[in-house]
């Protein structure tokens, strides 16, 4: 595999990502290109959209393609791709196809008009499998899963050349119009990771790198970010710039100015290498939901003791029953709505909360499982490059190929300093490109 994003002499303000050409590397770009059906042209008249003016959307999307062709990433993941317009779809497929890309598009459900486009450079990868994930939920969101393999060997072992296999996901999560939608967004990520786990298990895939790309519509301080971190994923951009999960680093960069005029960092390329350990998926999901419950209760200024009393409702006993728990979930808008928790999910939560299985949740269990709900944080050392060097001391059972983050750049460059340039018109999102280099690693345990 060969880098396609420049050399040591590349200037990062030219559109290239600077990286060494002395080692093989691949590049990945994620970009929400703002579908013309959503781009507002008149703040006084919100109904006027770019989609009504062919010259406007055509010119802007030609410029987007120009930038993508200039950068030539190995993998391109686009969100808000206007699948409902045949002319635009043909333009992207033709230009990307002429540049050597295989393209895969997926429309959101219920004829929303936009969707996803993933492009894979066939000079570097072949696609072994392509799957589509339809959430069929409140936001009509979808995801793409691609199982790809490097065309050229990236390393050797005793048995010969090794061609790296990777799982790539492209998605666009629901926008948090209301805090009660946090559970929907968490559930969308939960379904993605469940699907990935199932795919790996059914295809007997043990140790491989997983890259999740897209517009996650949430910041580093949100429940989705913490959930993914608890599952062993790291933000490639933050690794490249040595940012941690601390509050001090939470707003160092932005990637989106939303329709309310707020700026925040929501576009991520997540990496999980094939070694390391993390909690069972269902347990991490439950902790994430407990965190949402705690947040919703704190919005009403409830203290720890008051929260426990709220959850046990009018019951005079010093514990929370299942019925009272369900009633409290309804009070904080996590059930009883079209996008609320399912009965099975409520049962899964209850099993996690009732740690000793006696049918009730006592105060100590409440403190441990709900009030103290948090996702485990990685150490700063592990956050640097997504590779835990301490694992190399373990006697290995398997060898695998993972990735080291070489570089990551956001365009326009002002967003890397937490500012949004007023003259930027390509999209309401910045473009994120990450360069990875393959690295051999020893896996001491099976992840699934």
pLDDT along the chain (448 residues), means of 10: 38 40 83 97 88 98 98 98 98 98 98 98 97 92 98 65 90 86 93 97 93 97 94 98 94 92 96 89 92 82 67 73 89 80 90 90 83 51 47 55 96 98 97 96 60
Secondary structure, 3-state, the chain:
CCCCCCCCCCCHHHCCCCCCCCCCCEEEEEEECCCCCCCECCCCCCCCEHHHCHHHHHHHHHHHHHHHHHHCCCEEEEEEECCCCHHHHHHHHHHHHHCCEEEEEEECCCCCCCEEEEEEECCCEEEEEEEEEECCCCCCCEEEEEEEEECCCCEEECCEEECCEEEEEEEECCCCCCHHHHHHHHHHHHHHHHHHHHHHHHCCCCCCEEEEEEECCCCCCCHHHHHHHHCCCEEHHHHHCCCCCCHHHCCCCCCEECCCCCEECCEEEEEECCCCCCCCHHHHHHHHHHHHHHHHHHCCCCCHHHHHHHHCCCCCCCEECHHHHHHHHHHCCCCCCCCCCCHHHHHHHHHHHCCCCCCCEEHHHHHHHHHCCCCCCCCHHHHCCCCCHHHHHCCCCEEEEEEEEEEEEEECHHHHHCCCCCCCCCCCECEEEEEEEEEEEEECCCCC
Give residue 34's pLDDT: 98
Superfamily of domain 284-371: EF-hand (1.10.238.10)
pLDDT at position 419 is 97
Q: How many CA atoms lie within 13 A of 219 on its CB side?
A: 17
Q: Provide the whole-model pTM.
A: 0.89
Measure the CA–CA gap between 27 and 408, rounded to whole angstroms. Answer: 9
CATH architecture of 12-278+378-443: 4-Layer Sandwich (3.60)
CA distance linking residue 21 with residue 1, whole number of Å: 11
Instruction: Say if CB 432 and CB 2 are below 8 A apart.
Output: no
pLDDT score, position 86: 98
Cα torsion angle, 387, 392, 396, 399, sign: positive
Tokens of 52: 């009504």
Among 31, 50, 147, 345, which residue's Cα sits nearest to residue 353? 345
Q: Is 417 exposed, middle or buried (0-12, 13-18, 19+ CB in 10 A)?
A: exposed
The per-residue pLDDT for 17 is 46
Length of the chain counted residue by residue = 448
- Angstrom distance (rounded) from CA 394 to CA 318: 46
Bridge pairing between strands 256-257 and 155-157: unpaired
Question: Of 305, 321, 405, 404, nearest to 362 (Cα)?
Answer: 321
Q: What is the pLDDT of residue 9?
A: 35
Domain boundaries, the chain: 12-278+378-443, 284-371
- Adjacent-strand bridge partners of 171: 143, 214
- CA–CA gap between residue 359 and residue 418 (Å, rounded): 49
Which pLDDT does position 26 carry in this prediction? 95
CB neighbour list of residue 289: distance below 8 Å, 6 or more residues apart = 183, 186, 334, 341, 345, 349
Supply the pLDDT for residue 301.
58
Burial of 99 (0-12, 13-18, 19+ CB in 10 A): middle
Tell me the pLDDT tens digit for each residue of 284-294: 999 999 988 88
For the chain, the distance separating the N- and C-terminal CA atoms, rounded to the nearest angstrom, is 28
pLDDT of residue 390: 43
Residue 157: per-residue pLDDT:
55
Quote the pLDDT of residue 257: 96
- The rounded distance, in Å, linking the Cα atoms of 198 and 187 is 16
Of 354, 305, 368, the C-alpha closest to 325 is 354
Q: Which residue bears the tokens 């576009």? A: 267
Q: Are 263 and 395 in contact (CB under 8 A)?
A: no
pLDDT number for residue 368 = 81
């Amino acid at each position: 595999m060969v880098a396609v994003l420049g050399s040591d002499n590349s200037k990062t303000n030219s559109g290239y990502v600077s990286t060494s050409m002395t080692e093989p590397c691949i590049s990945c770009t994620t970009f929400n290109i703002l579908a013309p059906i959503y781009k507002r042209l008149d703040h006084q008249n919100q109904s006027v959209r770019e989609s009504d003016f062919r010259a406007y959307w055509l010119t802007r999307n030609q410029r987007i393609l120009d930038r993508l062709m200039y950068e030539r990433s190995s993998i391109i993941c686009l969100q808000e791709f206007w699948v409902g317009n045949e002319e635009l779809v043909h333009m992207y497929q033709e230009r990307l196809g002429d540049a050597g890309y295989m393209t895969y598009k997926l429309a959101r459900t219920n004829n929303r008009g936009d969707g996803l486009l993933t492009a894979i450079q066939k000079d570097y990868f072949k696609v072994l499998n392509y799957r589509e994930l339809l959430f069929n939920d409140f936001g009509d969101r979808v995801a793409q899963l691609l199982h790809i393999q490097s065309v050229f060997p990236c390393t050797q072992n005793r048995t010969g050349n090794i061609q790296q296999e990777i799982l790539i996901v492209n998605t666009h999560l629901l926008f948090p119009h209301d805090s009660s939608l946090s559970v929907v967004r968490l559930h969308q990520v939960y379904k993605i990771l469940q699907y990935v786990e199932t795919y790996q298990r059914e295809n007997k895939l043990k140790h491989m790198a997983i890259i999740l790309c897209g517009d996650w519509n949430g910041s580093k301080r949100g429940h989705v970010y913490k959930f993914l971190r608890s599952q062993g994923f790291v933000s490639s951009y933050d690794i490249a710039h040595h940012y941690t999960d601390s509050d001090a680093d939470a707003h160092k960069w932005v990637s989106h100015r939303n329709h309310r005029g707020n700026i925040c960092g929501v576009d991520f390329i997540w990496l999980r290498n094939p070694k390391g350990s993390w909690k069972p998926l269902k347990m991490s999901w439950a902790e994430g939901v407990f965190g949402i419950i705690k947040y919703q209760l704190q919005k009403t200024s409830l203290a720890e003791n008051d929260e426990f009393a709220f959850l046990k409702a009018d019951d005079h006993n010093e514990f929370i029953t299942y019925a009272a728990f369900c009633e409290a979930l309804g009070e904080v808008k996590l059930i009883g709505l079209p996008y609320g928790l399912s009965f099975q999910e409520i049962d899964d939560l209850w099993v996690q909360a009732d740690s000793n299985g006696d049918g009730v949740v006592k105060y100590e269990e409440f403190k441990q499982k709900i009030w103290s709900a948090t996702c485990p944080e990685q150490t700063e050392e592990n956050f640097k490059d997504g590779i835990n060097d301490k694992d190399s001391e373990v006697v290995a059972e398997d060898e695998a190929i993972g990735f080291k983050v070489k570089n990551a750049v956001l365009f326009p460059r002002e967003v890397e300093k937490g500012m949004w340039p007023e003259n930027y018109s390509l999209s309401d999102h910045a473009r994120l490109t990450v360069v990875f280099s393959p690295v051999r690693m020893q896996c001491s345990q099976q992840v699934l």
